[in-house]
Amino acid sequence: MHTNQITKERVFSELRKCMDPEIPVNVVDLGLIYNVDVSEKNNVDIKMTMTTRGCPLHDTLVKDVKRYINTIEGVGSINVEVVWDPPWSIDKMNPAVRDKLGFGKPALRFQIDYEQYKPQKSGKAVKQEDGSLALVNEREQGFMVNQNIIEFWDSCNGNRTINQLADDFSQKLNLPRQQVEQEVVQLIQQLLEAELLVPPPTKT
């Protein structure tokens, strides 16, 4: 072992500078980092997850993680593996941070009625010069997305309820209905937050 061996603590201290773009919390306190291994040659292996499987900022976050670790002197290769098991949940967050953000109970800004609300897309899809895809809302705010999210957003034509969209999606992806419903709801939440869907009518 040579003197400049990088410690896990050093890696974690860099990761604490890396913020999740959607929630203003670093990836460590958010509970996204499942494992960090540093080999004798200072190669760093990281297992991490995302808050949602369809997380549009997935690639950006992996790049950010690598960028921060790269600032450690003497670091070797950096390998970031994104895993979905065990799935991330709010329970994995640092409790102090969670309470500060008011995530004690998952408060949804939009209460969605799966049977009644028919998501209607808003904004437009654009292809950037580098070939990446984005959705842009009416206020010209752009969100990096992948093809699946574009297709899903495109299928929100105001004619189908969330339950129907989840049915379609589970058939298309050949995934269990229950798993898909959770992702569809999270995705709809994200699209609503990003103002890429017309919000459901508020119940008075």
Domains observed in the chain: 8-100 (3.30.300.130), 124-193 (1.10.10.1150)
Compute the distance between CA of residue 179 and CA of residue 122 in angstroms, rounded to an integer: 26
Give the per-residue pLDDT at 187: 85
Task: Read off φ and ψ for residue 76, nearest 5 degrees.
Answer: -90, -135
Q: What is the sign, positive or negative, of the torsion defined by CA atoms of 22, 51, 83, 40?
A: positive
Are 26 and 96 in contact by the 8 Å Cβ rule? The answer is no
Q: What's the pTM value of the predicted model, to 2 decimals?
A: 0.51
The crossing angle, in degrees rounded to 10, of helices 8-15 and 58-70 is: 130
Give the per-residue pLDDT at 106: 44
Per-residue pLDDT of the chain (204 residues; tens, 9 = 90+): 455 899 999 999 999 999 887 777 899 999 999 999 999 999 999 999 988 776 666 778 899 999 999 999 999 999 999 998 888 887 888 888 777 766 544 445 567 788 888 999 999 999 878 888 888 989 888 888 888 889 889 999 999 998 899 898 888 888 888 777 777 888 888 888 888 999 877 665
Task: Read off φ and ψ for residue 138, nearest 5 degrees.
Answer: -60, -25
Compute the distance between CA of residue 13 and CA of residue 166 in angstroms, rounded to an integer: 40
The kind and range of the H/E element at 70 are helix 58-70
